[in-house]
Each structure stands twice: as C-alpha cells, then as structure tokens.
Amino acid sequence: CLSDWSSDVCSSDLVAGDPCYDRLAASLPSRDSYRRALRVGDRKLVAVSSTWGPGSLLCQHPGLLAELLRQLPSEDYQVAAIVHPGVWSWHGARQVRAWYADCVRRGLVLVPPEEGWRAVLAAADVVVGDHGSVTCYAAAAGIPVLLGSFPSDEIEPGSPVAHLAEIAPRLRLDQPYPAQLGQAASAWRPDQYSAIKALVTDIPGQSARTIRALLYRLMKLPAPTVDLQVRPVPVPRQVALPETFGDRA
C-alpha cells in the first residue's frame, strides 16, 4: 500500500497489490522449463525455505538439509535450499557455501540470493518452510507447504503468515520425512490456500500497472498507453562450489 505522498495528486491510500507475487504467478506456467533447468526430471522437487534470525528453519534445525538428503532417495527426490539474502549478506557467501558444501556435493541445489527462489517455487512439488515470506508466497501460489519452524511470538496476529500456521501441517523431526512430504501433497486443498492468496494481494496480476499509473500521476505526466505484461522470472541457476572448496586434507 503506497501512502498519500501528495494531497493534490492522490487523496487517499492506494492498494497497489504485490508485484513479487504477480511475477511468481506469471512464472507458474513455466514450471516444466524450470524443472529442466534444475534437472529434476520425473523426481519430486522439495524446496526448503529458511528466513533469517534465531527462529528461522535452518537456525532451529541446522542439520535438516543433510537429513533430508539422507532420507530422500536421490532417484526419487531433488532438494533445493532457499536461504534468505540476509543470511548471505550477514555471514558472507563463502561462509554459506561452506555450511552447505557437503550437501551440495550430495545433490542439493543451493539457490543464489539474487534470483531464483520464485522459479524454484514454481517448479516445486512441496515446500518445507518457516514464517518467512517465501513460505507464504508458496502457499498463496498453491504449492503444498510443511512448516518446519514457526516462532509464533514473532508473528503479527491476523497476518497471512499467522493464517498459514493455522492450516499448514507441521514437519515432525521424529517421523520419516518421505511419508510426511507425501501426506502434505495429497492433503493440499485449493480452498485452504486461496485465503492466503486473498491476504497477500487484493489485485493479483495488476500491481505493476497500478503502481505505474500512480507514479505518472505523481509526476503529472501522461501515462504510457502500452499495457504492462508481467513476465515470468528467468530459469534458475544454482550456487556452484570451486573444485577445491572445502576439501579436507
């Protein structure tokens, strides 16, 4: 929501939608292209999303990625990790690569912080996440979600993430992961997650043109007549490790 910057141009707040969600939604039809880029094939793609801070998924369960790779047969599953850009910025790219180097060697797709998370969500069969916005976007886009961490004291009541916590199943660390992932996918119901989408955006697919119209009004210029098209995001790439990175003597 953009506030009233100029009373002579805009007399009230404006509902501007969510351009980030709009690009994710526009990318969903490109699912097959993204899966080819990730070399998923006929396997199930499990996207693991972790925000930052002490309540985040990978802070609460630092061994989760390794355990997923151990329990999920590589011929049936591909695992991708979406780590919040704040983690990359605070700790540095070298440290993040070092943390997950063994997992990458075992087949983990480590998504770069700059771009790729929406393409991975569009390609995913299920998302294991926390209270971060990526998990909420996944649910709003209709992707089955399992919550592996949820610090309720950090969440605003009534927010989209709080509503997600009411309907999404929880990942049980003491139970086999393959069965839980399958159950989450089979139990997914569109009506459950449509409520999340309604909380994320009131005007799906219209955010860019709404914001552009407002900006031109603020500049007191005629708006372009060419309609804006929401484009799919690029095909995803993954973080590569140098050949000698993390080698043990």
- Whether 192 shows a pLDDT value over 60: the answer reads yes
How much of the chain exceeds pLDDT 70, in percent?
Answer: 92
Confidence of residue 98 (pLDDT cuts 50, 70, 90): very high
Here the tokens at position 199 are 């909380």
Q: What's the pLDDT score for residue 5?
A: 38
pTM of the model: 0.89
Q: Are 38 and 80 in contact (CB under 8 A)?
A: yes
Over residues 61-86, mean pLDDT: 97
Q: What's the pLDDT score for residue 55?
A: 94
**CA–CA distance, 52 with 44 (Å, rounded to integer):** 26
Q: What's the pLDDT score for residue 189?
A: 82
- Whether 2 shows a pLDDT value over 90: the answer reads no
Residue type at 165 in one-letter notation? A
49-61 residue pLDDT tens: 999 999 999 999 9
Over residues 144-156, mean pLDDT: 90
